[in-house]
């Protein structure tokens, strides 16, 4: 027997407690429906700050917020800790690792996972950073390689390989990670390791196209490259990763191939939808995202909606960007449309409003762009801090996060340099 809601009210099931899923649940909290949020984790993850966990700036629990904590006062919102594994749309059932759940309306908001574009060797040996676990494994790895380097006595090549760090992908994640690693190494680890020569460190940011932060105007893109180079990050544009066997990475720039020995390749070069989305049987795009109508309904499945990184929603001939605001905004229209459907009203059309984009390049430095407005440097960084702190769940976490950012900015302090097991 599939699990049902207890009452007679319509049952909305939300798959995924990311930005889109939590937003939808919050909007449904005062409506006359029962809601079940399904997620394999018991927390909402603030993914934009994963890079700060991987570089020892923030604690894990500062960017992960218990899902139930959002809804302590909302009796109609239930949480079901399980992984969505499939669909039975004919019977209005979603399958999970802990049994079936029946729904009246379903919101697919399962988010994205890392896309290696079919490169198995890279998938096997590189460090992704889409989940909390991945970011702490990367933190462990960064510290462990320096500990290993400090134990190496005679093998200079190995020592160099241990201190060579490659970040692949010139989007916001790659840029932010590269800046944060540079500061971790040159401001903090430099003082930690008396017997290592930090001139042996080599941090490279690899980007296949000719641009970092492609959504930004040219002046800000160039500024980003300059700032990163000032932080001793070797920015390599027009350079593709061909292979990585755990010891050597193969890069291709034009006709030239290059092999570099490194123990650390961080993969921030692409995302795709969670594989479960494709099992619905609806049409998906190349990144596995389900094609949705202008109403956010999945094409051919009017009682199933998809938002955020699970959905391919076209506007102006392009899919929406894979960022939190796109998920938030789609959640708003989706909730309205579910309430319309319950009342037998007509569905609304979703129109995405671009809120601009921003990226930090390091403590005290960021770029920001919206429409014709652009900004960089300390002002943009303060704006970036404000936006992210306001979006973070929970006023208490905000305090400790601001405190740690200020400490990191003024003193280069990174409190979380912990190899956890």
Catalytic residues: 176
4 vs 125, which CB is nearer to a second copy?
4
Q: Is 80 in the site for a second copy (CB under 8 A)?
A: yes
195 vs 199, which CB is nearer to a second copy?
195
Look at residue 88 and give its three-state secondary structure.
strand
100-139 residues in contact with a second copy (CB under 8 A) are 132-133, 136
165 vs 184, which CB is nearer to a second copy?
184
Q: Which residue has the tokens 């984009």?
A: 357
Among 191, 229, 261, 370, binds a second copy (CB under 8 A): 191
Tell me how far apart the alpha carbons of residues 69 and 181 are, in angstroms, rounded to a whole number: 32
- Find, among 130, 135, 14, 31, the residue nearest to 74 by Cα: 31
Q: Is 396 in the site for a second copy (CB under 8 A)?
A: yes
Max Cα separation, the chain? Answer: 76
Q: Is 43 in the site for a second copy (CB under 8 A)?
A: yes
Q: With CB under 8 A as the contact rule, which of the stretches 73-81, 84-92, 214-222, 265-273 interacts with a second copy? A: 73-81
Q: Is 89 in the site for a second copy (CB under 8 A)?
A: no
- To a second copy, the closest distance from the beta carbon of 97 in angstroms equals 11
Q: Which residue has the tokens 């399958």?
A: 95
Q: What are the counts of helices (DSSP H) followed by strands (DSSP E) for the chain?
A: 12, 27
Q: Are 200 and 164 in contact (CB under 8 A)?
A: no
Tell me how far apart the alpha carbons of residues 333 and 418 are, in angstroms, rounded to a whole number: 42
Q: Is 409 in the site for a second copy (CB under 8 A)?
A: no
How far, CA to CA in Å, does 94 sit from each of 7, 83, 85, 335? 19, 10, 8, 19
Buried b (16+ CB within 10 A) or exposed e, 2-15: ebebeeeebbbbbb
121 vs 150, which CB is nearer to a second copy?
150
Q: With CB under 8 A as the contact rule, which of the stretches 72-80, 232-240, 327-335, 382-390 interacts with a second copy? A: 72-80
Tell me how far apart the alpha carbons of residues 144 and 139 are, in angstroms, rounded to a whole number: 9
135-154 residues in contact with a second copy (CB under 8 A) are 136, 143-144, 147, 150-151, 153
Q: With CB under 8 A as the contact rule, which of the stretches 86-94, 288-296, 374-382, 410-418 interacts with a second copy? A: 410-418
Q: Are 231 and 183 in contact (CB under 8 A)?
A: yes
CA 58 to chain centre: 16
- To a second copy, the closest distance from the beta carbon of 189 in angstroms equals 8
Which residues of this chain interact with a second copy, rule CB under 8 A? 3, 41-43, 59-62, 64, 66, 68-69, 72, 75, 78-82, 98-99, 132-133, 136, 143-144, 147, 150-151, 153, 191-195, 394, 396-397, 399-400, 403-404, 407, 413, 415-421
């Amino acid at each position: 027997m599939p699990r049902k809601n207890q009452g007679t009210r319509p049952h909305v099931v939300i798959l995924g407690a990311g930005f889109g899923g939590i937003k939808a649940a919050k909007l449904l909290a005062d409506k006359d429906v029962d809601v079940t949020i399904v997620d394999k984790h018991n927390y909402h993850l603030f993914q934009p700050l994963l890079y700060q966990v991987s570089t020892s700036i923030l604690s894990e629990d500062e960017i992960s917020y218990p899902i139930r904590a959002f809804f302590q006062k909302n009796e109609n919102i239930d949480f079901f800790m399980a992984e969505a594994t499939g669909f039975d749309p004919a019977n209005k059932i979603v399958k999970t690792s802990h049994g079936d759940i029946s729904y009246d309306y379903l919101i697919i908001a399962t988010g994205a996972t890392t896309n290696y574009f079919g490169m198995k060797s890279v998938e096997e040996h590189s460090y992704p950073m889409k989940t909390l676990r991945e970011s702490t494994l990367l933190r462990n790895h960064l510290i462990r390689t320096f500990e290993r380097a400090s134990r190496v006595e005679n093998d200079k090549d190995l020592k160099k390989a241990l201190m060579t760090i490659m970040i692949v992908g010139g989007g916001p994640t790659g840029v932010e990670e590269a800046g944060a690693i540079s500061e971790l190494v040159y401001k903090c680890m430099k003082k930690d390791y008396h017997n290592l020569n930090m001139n042996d460190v080599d941090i490279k940011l690899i980007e296949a196209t000719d641009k970092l932060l492609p959504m930004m105007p040219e002046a800000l893109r160039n500024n980003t490259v300059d700032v990163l180079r000032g932080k001793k990050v070797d920015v390599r544009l027009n350079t593709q990763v061909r292979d990585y066997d755990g010891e050597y990475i193969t890069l291709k720039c034009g006709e030239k191939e290059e092999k570099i020995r490194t123990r650390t390749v961080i993969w921030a070069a692409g995302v795709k939808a969670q594989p479960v989305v494709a099992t619905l049987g609806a049409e998906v795009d190349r990144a596995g995202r389900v094609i949705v109508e202008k109403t956010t309904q999945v094409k051919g499945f009017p009682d199933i909606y998809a938002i955020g990184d699970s959905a391919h929603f076209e506007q102006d001939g392009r899919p929406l960007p894979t960022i939190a605001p796109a998920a938030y905004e789609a959640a708003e229209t989706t909730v309205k449309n579910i309430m319309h459907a319950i009342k037998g009203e007509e569905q609304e059309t979703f129109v995405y409003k671009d809120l601009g984009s921003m990226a930090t390049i390091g403590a005290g430095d960021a770029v920001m762009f919206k429409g014709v407005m652009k900004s960089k440097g300390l002002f943009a960084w303060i704006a970036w801090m404000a936006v992210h702190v306001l979006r973070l769940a929970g006023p208490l976490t905000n305090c400790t996060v601001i405190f740690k950012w200020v400490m990191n900015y003024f003193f280069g302090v990174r409190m979380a340099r912990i190899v956890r097991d």
